[in-house]
Structure 1
Amino acid sequence: MLNGKRILLIVTGGIAAYKTPELVRQLIKAGATVRCVLTRGGAQFVTPLALASVSGDQVYSDLFSLTDEHEMGHINLSREADVVLVAPATANTLAKMAHGLADNLSTTVLLATDKPVLAVPAMNVRMWEHAATKSNIAMLRARGVTMIGPDEGEMACGEWGEGRMAEPEDIVLALSSFFGSTAPLGGYSAIVTSGPTHEPIDPVRYIANRSSGKQGHAIAQALKELGARVTLISGPVDLPDPQGVKVIHVQSARDMATAVEGALPADIAVCAAAVADWRVDNQAPQKLKKGIDGMPSLSMVENPDILAALSRPGERRPQLVVGFAAETENVLEHARAKLAKKGCDWICANDVSPSTGTFGGDQNTVQLVTRTSVEDWPSQSKFHVAKQLATRIAAHLGAQKFAHKPGEAS
Structure 2
Amino acid sequence: MKITVYMTGGIAVYKAVEVVRHLQKAGHKLRVVMTKNAERFVSSNTLAALTKQPVLDDLWTKEHEATIPHIELARWTQLAIVVPASANFLAKMANGIADDAASTTILATAAPKAVVPAMNDQMWSNPATQRNLSLLKKDGIAIMEPVVGLLAEGYQAKGRMPEPDQIFSWLEEKYLTANKRLQGKKIIVSAGGTIESIDPVRYISNHSSGKMGIEIAKAARDAGADVTLVYGNIQAALPDGINTIAVKSAQDMYEAIATNFNDADVLIMAAAVGDWRAKTVAKNKLKKQADQAELQLTFVKNIDILKTLAHAKRADQLVIGFAAETTELLENAQRKLEQKGADYIVANDVSQNVFGSDEDQVTILAQNKQPEKWPKMTKKQVAEKLLNLIRKRF
Go from structure 1 to structure 2 and tell me whether the alpha carbon gap of 1:234 and 1:21 turns closer, same or farther (over 3 Å shift).
farther
Contact 1:176-1:183 within 8 A present in 2 as well: no
Cα RMSD after superposing both structures: 4.5
Could you say which residue in structure 2 is the equivalent of 1:149? 78
Contact 2:110-2:377 within 8 A present in 1 as well: no
1:248 positional shift? 1.5
Q: Secondary structure at the residue paired with 1:47? A: helix
Could you say which residue in structure 2 is the equivalent of 1:250? 247
1:313 positional shift? 3.4
Moved over 2 A (4+): 14-36, 44-48, 85-90, 122-129, 147-151, 157-170, 172-182, 292-297
Could you say which residue in structure 1 is the equivalent of 2:300? 301
Q: Secondary structure at the residue paired with 2:180? A: coil
Contact 1:308-1:343 within 8 A present in 2 as well: yes
Could you say which residue in structure 1 is the equivalent of 2:365? 369
**Paired letter, 1:339:** L
Go from structure 1 to structure 2 and tell me whether the alpha carbon gap of 1:327 and 1:311 turns closer, same or farther (over 3 Å shift).
same
Go from structure 1 to structure 2 and tell me whether the alpha carbon gap of 1:366 and 1:178 turns closer, same or farther (over 3 Å shift).
closer
Could you say which residue in structure 1 is the equivalent of 2:19? 25
Q: Separation in 2 of the partners of 1:378 and 1:35?
A: 26
Task: Give the TM-score, by structure 1 length.
Answer: 0.60
What is the CA deviation profile of residues 129-153 of structure 1, one whole-angstrom value per residue up to 9, with x for unaligned ones?
9xxxxxxxxxxxxxxxxx76387x9
Could you say which residue in structure 2 is the equivalent of 1:235? 232
Are 2:393 and 1:396 aligned?
yes
**Structure whose alpha-carbon radius of gyration is higher:** 2
Task: Show the 5 A alignment for 1:206-245.
Answer: 206-245=203-242
Query: Which of 198, 203, 211 is 2:200 aligned to?
Result: 203
Task: Give the TM-score, by structure 2 length.
Answer: 0.62
Contact 1:150-1:163 within 8 A present in 2 as well: no
What is the CA deviation profile of residues 318-351 of structure 1, one whole-angstrom value per residue up to 9, with x for unaligned ones?
6110101111111111111111111111111111
Go from structure 1 to structure 2 and tell me whether the alpha carbon gap of 1:347 and 1:29 turns closer, same or farther (over 3 Å shift).
closer
Task: Show the 5 A alignment for 1:10-409.
Answer: 22=16, 25=19, 28=22, 32=26, 46-48=44-46, 123-125=69-71, 149=78, 156=101, 183-264=180-261, 265-291=263-289, 294=292, 295-313=294-312, 315=314, 319-353=317-351, 356-373=352-369, 374-397=371-394
Q: Secondary structure at the residue paired with 2:69? A: coil
Go from structure 1 to structure 2 and tell me whether the alpha carbon gap of 1:165 and 1:358 turns closer, same or farther (over 3 Å shift).
closer
What is the CA deviation profile of residues 340-369 of structure 1, one whole-angstrom value per residue up to 9, with x for unaligned ones?
11111111111111xx22222222121111
1:391 positional shift? 0.3
Go from structure 1 to structure 2 and tell me whether the alpha carbon gap of 1:288 and 1:252 turns closer, same or farther (over 3 Å shift).
same
**Paired letter, 1:192:** V
1:87 positional shift? 5.7
Could you say which residue in structure 1 is the equivalent of 2:64? none
What is the CA deviation profile of residues 204-261 of structure 1, one whole-angstrom value per residue up to 9, with x for unaligned ones?
2111111111111111111222221111111111111123222222221111111111
Go from structure 1 to structure 2 and tell me whether the alpha carbon gap of 1:156 and 1:342 turns closer, same or farther (over 3 Å shift).
same
1:28 positional shift? 2.6
Q: Separation in 1 of the partners of 2:239 and 2:338?
A: 32
Q: Which runs of no fewer than 5 residues in structure 2 stay unpaired?
A: 31-41, 57-67, 81-95, 116-141, 143-167
**Paired letter, 1:234:** Y
Q: Separation in 1 of the partners of 2:208 and 2:14?
A: 39
